[in-house]
Amino acid sequence: MVALLRRSLAPLTDETWKEVDEAAARVLKSQLTARGIVDFDGPCGWDLAALNLGRLATSEEPGPHQVPWGRRLVLPLIETRVPFSLNQMELDSIARGADDADLDPLEEAAQRIAAFEESAIYNGLEPGGIEGIIPQSVHPPIQLPKNTRDFPEAVALAVQTMNQAGIDGPFVLVLGAEAWTGLMQSGAGGYPPQRVIGTLTYGAPRMSPAIQGGLLISAAKGNFELTVGQDFSIGYASHDRDQVELYLTESFVFRVLEPKASVRLQPE
**In the 3-class helix/strand/coil scheme, how is 197-243 assigned residue by residue?**
HHHHCCCCCEECCCCCCEEEEECCCCCEEEEECCCCEEEEEEECCCE
pLDDT tier, 53 (very low <50, low <70, confident <90, very high otherwise): very high
* Sheet with 171-175, edge to edge strand ranges: 142-144, 262-267, 214-218, 171-175, 206-207
To the question of pTM greater than 0.85 for the whole model, the response is yes
Over residues 113-131, the pLDDT tens digits come to 999 999 999 999 999 999 9
DSSP-derived pairing of the beta strands 262-267 and 214-218: antiparallel
**If pLDDT is split at 50, 70 and 90, which confidence band does 185 have?**
confident
Residue 1 pLDDT exceeds 50: no
CATH architecture for residues 2-56+69-267: 2-Layer Sandwich (3.30)
pLDDT band at 253 (very low <50, low <70, confident <90, very high): very high
Q: Is the dihedral of CA 155, 263, 182, 114 positive or negative?
A: positive
pLDDT at 190: 64
